[in-house]
Amino acid sequence: MTLKECKKEEKADREFQKKFKFEGSINVLTRMMVDPAVTEKRGGGKNLPLRRGEILDVIQFTNREQILCRNNQRRCKSGVGAEALPA
């Protein structure tokens, strides 16, 4: 990983912590996949678009219906609980 990529990841993590009011270090709990049969959804606000079969890193289980996660581009998502399957 180059220095530029490392700084970009650090910046993305800081933005995540600010946007979701997340304190402490970001630890990935598990990985989940978006259900391939689900219809693709548009994002908005704190929710990013869902893509079929997308692999997500779970950062926090907020409640039964919402999960705080990020995709492989380090973009964060909230509220994908019903559409996510264990990977």
- Distance linking the first and last C-alpha atoms of the chain: 25
How far apart are alpha carbons 78 and 45 in whole angstroms?
Answer: 10
How much is the pLDDT for 84?
61
Query: Domains of the chain (ranges plus CATH)?
Result: 24-86 (2.30.30.40)
Structural contact between residues 66 and 81, judged by C-beta atoms closer than 8 angstroms: yes
The answer to whether 28 touches 16, Cβ cutoff 8 Å, is no
| Average pLDDT of span 17-41 | 81
- Give residue 77's pLDDT band: very low, low, confident or very high (50, 70, 90): low
Residues 64-84: what's their mean pLDDT? 70
